[in-house]
């Protein structure tokens, strides 16, 4: 066998092997993409760059004229938390156990910069030199993202902001400094350790300055303990000492059941059920759920 023919046989064998293991060939067939939403790139004047927004709308959206409350999810990129929270949006629509929402994922690119206040503690200034852009990112949300979504989707006036860890810190920061930006706030294991708990130490005075009527706050914490829990304790103490008509808050302690890595999804579902619960119809159980019952006579 000459060299040229040997090379050709080797190339042919390699191509056949590649095809055999290709996801496009064989048992899997040609397949088709699964589309669960719409991805937008918007040019941000505030941030000076292009920003990714991912939107899940209910299945019935295209064939109706109903308006929906909007859940804004921080860390909402396609490789971040958008997919699993959009799945909860679908669950609400399928089950009818909580209100159907539009879910908007707002991608983060530099969480340390976008979700934190400028630190004052010298240790944090040294350790996190690129932090402190929360106010700018909040302007991006309120001045650009929300108007874009309102202009392109049928939105009801009520909107919620949700995030976990540093994004949860941003949620609490927004409530305490710019409460009118959103109606409902969901903070999952918020990183309240930031800047030696400066935000939560100021919580009593910050709460007094906000217009909190008709707003709701959902808080939960996993087993992080330490300064994470200390910050939450600061915030809860401030909330207990504060009351205004129409403002409500809830804290769910998950320190014995969840870790920082496991808390988000189940807590998000619980928060949505808590805020947007729909009453379930009363009535007798169907016959097949009652032991020994006879089916109804079909005429």
Domains annotated on the chain, with CATH: 38-280 (3.40.50.1820)
Spell out the residues 6+ positions from residue 78 whose beta carbon is closer than 8 angstroms to its own: 39, 52, 54, 105, 107
pLDDT band of residue 28 (cuts 50, 70, 90) is: low
Burial of 56 (0-12, 13-18, 19+ CB in 10 A): buried
Q: Which helix (H) or strand (E) holds 105?
A: strand 102-106
The Cα 250–Cα 240 span in angstroms is: 11
Q: 266 with 235: CB under 8 angstroms?
A: no
Whole-number average pLDDT of the chain: 90
pLDDT computed for residue 14 by the predictor: 45
Q: 143 with 51: CB under 8 angstroms?
A: no
Task: Flag whether pLDDT at 69 surpasses 60.
Answer: yes
Q: What are 212-252's pLDDT values in tens digits?
A: 999 999 999 999 999 999 999 999 999 999 989 999 999 99
pLDDT computed for residue 27 by the predictor: 52
**Region of poorest pLDDT, from 11-20, 157-166, 265-274:** 11-20
Task: Flag whether pLDDT at 98 surpasses 90.
Answer: yes
Model pTM above 0.85: yes
Paired residues of 40 in beta bridges: 53
Closest among 92, 102, 86, 81 to 152, alpha carbons compared: 102
What's the N-to-C CA distance of the chain in angstroms? 81
The Cα 277–Cα 260 span in angstroms is: 26
Spell out the residues 6+ positions from residue 261 whose beta carbon is closer than 8 angstroms to its own: none
**Region of poorest pLDDT, from 2-16, 238-252, 269-283:** 2-16
The Cα 186–Cα 100 span in angstroms is: 17
Q: Which helix (H) or strand (E) holds 264?
A: helix 264-276
Q: What are 222-232's pLDDT values in tens digits?
A: 999 999 999 99
Task: Flag whether pLDDT at 99 surpasses 70.
Answer: yes
């Amino acid at each position: 066998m000459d060299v040229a023919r040997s090379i050709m046989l080797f190339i042919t064998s390699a191509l056949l092997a590649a095809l055999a293991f290709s996801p496009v060939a064989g048992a899997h067939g040609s397949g088709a993409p699964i589309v669960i939403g719409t991805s937008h790139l918007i040019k941000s004047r505030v941030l000076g760059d292009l920003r990714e927004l991912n939107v899940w709308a209910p299945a019935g959206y295209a064939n109706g004229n109903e308006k929906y409350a909007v859940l804004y999810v921080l860390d909402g990129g396609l490789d971040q938390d958008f997919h699993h929270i959009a799945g909860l949006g679908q669950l609400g629509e399928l089950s009818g156990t909580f209100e159907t929402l539009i879910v908007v994922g707002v991608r983060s690119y530099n969480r340390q910069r976008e979700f934190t206040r400028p630190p004052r503690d010298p240790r944090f200034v040294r350790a996190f030199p690129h932090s402190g852009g929360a106010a700018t990112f909040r302007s991006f949300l309120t001045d650009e993202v929300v108007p874009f979504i309102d202009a392109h989707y049928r939105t009801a006036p009520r909107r919620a902001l949700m995030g976990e860890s540093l994004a949860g810190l941003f949620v609490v920061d927004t409530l305490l400094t710019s409460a009118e930006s959103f109606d409902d706030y969901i903070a999952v294991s918020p990183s309240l350790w930031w800047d030696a708990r400066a935000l939560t130490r100021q919580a009593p005075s910050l709460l007094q300055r906000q217009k909190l009527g008709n707003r709701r706050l959902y808080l939960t914490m996993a087993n992080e303990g330490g300064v994470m829990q200390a910050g939450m304790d600061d915030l809860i103490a401030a909330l207990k000492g504060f009351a205004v008509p129409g403002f409500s808050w809830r804290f769910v302690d998950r320190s014995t059941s969840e870790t920082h890595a496991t808390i988000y999804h189940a807590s998000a579902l619980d928060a949505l059920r808590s805020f947007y619960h729909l009453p379930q119809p009363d009535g007798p159980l169907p016959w097949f759920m009652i032991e020994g019952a006879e089916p109804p006579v079909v005429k």
